[in-house]
Amino acid sequence: MGKLLSVAFSDVDDKVNIMMKICVLYKGECGGMLLTTVNKEVSLNIAKLNGENNKKETKDPQYAKYDSLSRNLLRMMWF
């Protein structure tokens, strides 16, 4: 049970770090607000990006390794 919780909390920690990084990235435009940032990602058509499927979802090299706040926020709701 301890190993399972360790893996789960590690995943949560990773997602929180990604979300914090993106909030800083769009702070000027979105004011650090989650919903505003999600709407920005949707308008840029990058909300589905997870760092692994990016070549299928976008051709823009700027987002080659982008891991979206929208997708991570959705995954956080599962916990």
pLDDT, residue 67, reads 93
Match 């919780």 to its residue by tokens. Answer: 5
CA pseudo-torsion sign 7, 8, 12, 18:
positive
| pLDDT tops 70 at residue 1 | no
| pLDDT tops 80 at residue 5 | no
Assigned token pair, 68: 């979206």
Average pLDDT, the chain: 87
Q: How many domains does one find in the chain?
A: 1
Which range marks the domain in which residue 28 is found? 2-76
Question: Are the C-beta atoms of residues 70 and 43 closer than 8 Å to each other?
Answer: no
pLDDT, residue 42, reads 95
Q: Whole-prediction pTM value? A: 0.80
Q: What percent of the chain has pLDDT over 70?
A: 95
